[in-house]
Amino acid sequence: MHDEMPHELAPPPAEMPIKTPDWVKHAVFYQVFPDRFARSSRTSHLPGLRFQQWGTPPVNDGYMGGDLRGIVDKLPYLEELGVNALYLTPIFTSASNHRYHTYDYFSVDPLLGGDEALRELLDAAHEREMRVVLDGVFNHTGRGFWPFHHILENGGNSPYIDWFTIQDWPLNPYPTKPNQKTNYSAWWGLAALPKLNTDNPAVREYLYDVARHWIQFGIDGWRLDVPHEIDDDDFWRTFRQVVKGENPEAYICGEIWHEARRWLQGDQFDAVMNYLFTGPAISFFAAETFRNDYKHHHLPFKSIPAEELARLIDRMYGYYDWEINFAQLNMLDSHDMARAAWIVQDESALRLCVLFQMTMPGAPCIYYGDEVGVTGGPDPECRRAFPWHDEASWNYDLLKFYRRAVALRTTHVALRVGELKTLHAEGSIYAFRRQHESEEAVVAFNVSKKAVDVELPLPAGSSNARYRQVWPLESHQSHERTDRGIQCKVPPRDALVLVRELE
């Protein structure tokens, strides 16, 4: 789901230390759209149920039949990829393949295998030290949500009448004419998505109970759908207290497409889906190839040089405390936008974007299938089935690249939680240093089609430091020390990563 323009920044809360879950700072996430990721033969359905044939073109109201046991079956694949955290789009009972139309928040959709399948997934993932974050849709429900159905049956006499905002009678949940408006508050005016009245204490307590229940069940956090539309900081402060009261290390990540200081002051969310990372990354690394005909309200791509990339990155990290920056969910694409490969139209640009993800502060998130070359334009094309049925179509070179890029990040602590300092930003070269107490990494990106020589300054007192090249591994050493820093030859359409251990 998408959100709207920024809300005016609220005044900060009383001074308090900001703390985010430590595991997130070391996580590489993998986003799964459950209906489209994997179908397991171990999930039994009632006889006569029919799904689309796996891999056929996706449609808005079609079901491929992916389920949670399918994810369990593919955990060895994900482990080999190097991911250690999963973010699942909604899994609760719903009448839509994406399940943002919830009608039972306390049950996992039977088509996904039910609660038992979630139990199996959590246990199997935790055995592999993988975390699992679920999608919470608390701003609106589906038409089938039981209190809304109660109102449809009983009208104004329903005890649940104040769970929603009713404007007129009789209710019109199934408009028959184009552009016919609903007569109750609904998300973006869509009749299928009645908006909850979260000013109602009973609604608040119900949603807190949902949050608490699934944390107790064993999930590792919540991604929150359009949380800005619950325009109530106290609601989210209490939500945080409920979640963190059950598990202080649970992750709370909001879907906010713009600057999000209002929610990231330590009293509401730990992080947001960091689309402020997405736009600049694609605009720089795919400056010559991205689709000019792709329009997205929140992602105005434009060709930018390294100087502008550095400015945007510095501004982005300058918004927040570093506890927040290390926990931000850095995206290249998701179920709410066209796939990165489709946008950038060039594999070298995609690779540069991925390597940028893996070397910058914040938890990188891979959208399912990107690593084997799955592509597609806006919804529904961005929600294609993972091609388990056609492994001959996989881009194995790209998959190998993803595994190496993920391993680079997980091997070097400086790339996960090291401080960030820009060293050089000019034309085609963007270089920076990541420094941790035990390790320093120097990273230089080159978007040009020719190798570029650049001298990178280093801190005073490091003139005798010796760096080893960890990317690219297969090439000859491309750097040497000088009196002023490091003289580097950065490969074309690639990056140079140098590391040294600190005493």
> Residue 463's pLDDT is what?
62
Q: How many CB atoms lie within 10 A of CB 489?
A: 17
DSSP-assigned states of every residue in 315-368:
HHHHTS-HHHHTT-EEES--TTS--HHHHH--HHHHHHHHHHHHHSSSEEEEET
> Residue 146's pLDDT is what?
97
Average of per-residue pLDDT across 113-121 = 98
DSSP 8-state assignment for residue 391: G
Report the alpha-carbon distance of residue 272 to residue 205 in Å, rounded. Answer: 24
Report the alpha-carbon distance of residue 425 to residue 304 in Å, rounded. Answer: 12
Query: 110-114, 250-254, 265-269, 475-479: lowest mean pLDDT where?
Result: 475-479
> Residue 214's pLDDT is what?
98
Q: Which H/E stretch holds residue 410?
A: helix 396-411
Report the alpha-carbon distance of residue 260 to residue 9 in Å, rounded. Answer: 8
Report the alpha-carbon distance of residue 364 to residue 410 in Å, rounded. Answer: 11
| Mean pLDDT estimate for the chain | 94
> Residue 4's pLDDT is what?
42
DSSP 8-state assignment for residue 491: P
Closest of 311, 355, 316 to residue 332, by C-alpha: 355
Q: Which H/E stretch holds residue 481?
A: strand 479-481
Report the alpha-carbon distance of residue 470 to residue 444 in Å, rounded. Answer: 12
Q: How many CB atoms lie within 10 A of CB 123?
A: 11
Q: How many CB atoms lie within 10 A of CB 59?
A: 12
Q: How many CB atoms lie within 10 A of CB 207?
A: 21
Report the alpha-carbon distance of residue 230 to residue 228 in Å, rounded. Answer: 5
Q: Give residue 238's Cα distance to chain centre.
A: 24
Which ranges of 21-144 would DSSP assign to H, the alpha helix?
22-25, 34-37, 68-73, 75-81, 114-127
Percent of the chain beyond pLDDT 90?
90
Rounded (10°) angle between helices 201-217 and 114-127: 50
On whether the CB atoms of residues 299 and 278 are closer than 8 A, the answer is yes
Q: How many CB atoms lie within 10 A of CB 70?
A: 26
CB-based contacts of 48: which residues, under 8 Å, 6+ apart? none
Report the alpha-carbon distance of residue 474 to residue 412 in Å, rounded. Answer: 18
Write out pLDDT tens, residues 272-296.
999 999 999 999 999 999 999 998 9
- Sheet strand arrangement including 452-457: 452-457, 485-490, 479-481
Q: Give residue 57's Cα distance to chain centre.
A: 24
> Residue 362's pLDDT is what?
98
366: which 2 tokens?
Answer: 């891979």
> Residue 5's pLDDT is what?
40
Closest of 3, 25, 12 to residue 261, by C-alpha: 12
Beta bridge partners of 140: 195
Average of per-residue pLDDT across 451-472 = 85
Write out pLDDT tens, residues 198-220.
999 999 999 999 999 999 999 99
Report the alpha-carbon distance of residue 5 to residue 25 in Å, rounded. Answer: 28
> Residue 11's pLDDT is what?
46
Q: Give residue 61's Cα distance to chain centre.
A: 23
Write out pLDDT tens, residues 384-413.
999 999 999 999 999 999 999 999 999 999
pTM of the model: 0.95
Confidence band (pLDDT; 50, 70, 90) for 460? low
Q: Is 71 helix (H, G, I), strand (E, B) or coil?
A: helix
Distances (CA, A) of 79 to 74, 346, 467: 9, 27, 30
Catalytically active residues are: 225, 255
